[in-house]
Amino acid sequence: MDLSLEKKLEKVGLLFRIHRYEGAEKILASLLQEHPNFAHEHDLHALYATALYKQNKLEQTSEALRTALSKYPQSIELNLCLAANLSDLGSYEEAAEIFAKAKDFGFSSYRESIETSYRKKIADLNTFLEMPGHSRP
């Protein structure tokens, strides 16, 4: 992995831990622009959307997730995040459609609510980011 990419990801992790989501948003936006072919770019999109969501930028979160899904339409994580965000915006029918689509992509725990699934993904991302010295492959 590119050293500057690794350092920036570590900084994003630090910013998430101290709840500086605006700073994380800026770094992630630049990473998405600088590294469009990063092997785990869909993870960067999910983190970017999370940074927006944590700032209560729900419309921008939806836009970011829709952009990411145009590149990775079968990403279960991105679909779940969008469904949860749309639910927060009150677009329940569209959220249900997207959630059903995620189920069709192989999502096995359909019984969980949209909110529970989203919160679990956020918790998993935060746990990942809090692990000292952890870097992505």
Q: Report the CATH number that the domain containing residue 117 is assigned in CATH.
A: 1.25.40.10
Asked if 23 and 15 count as a contact pair (C-beta separation under 8 A), the reply is yes
135 belongs to a structural domain: no
Question: pLDDT tens digits for the chain (137 residues)?
Answer: 556 888 998 999 999 999 999 999 999 999 999 887 776 777 889 999 999 999 999 999 999 999 999 988 888 888 989 999 999 999 999 999 998 888 777 645 444 556 677 777 777 777 777 776 655 44
* pTM score: 0.71
Helix axes 58-71, 76-88, angle to 10 degrees: 160
Q: What total of structural domains would you count in the chain?
A: 1
95 belongs to a structural domain: yes
Place of tokens 């079968």: 74
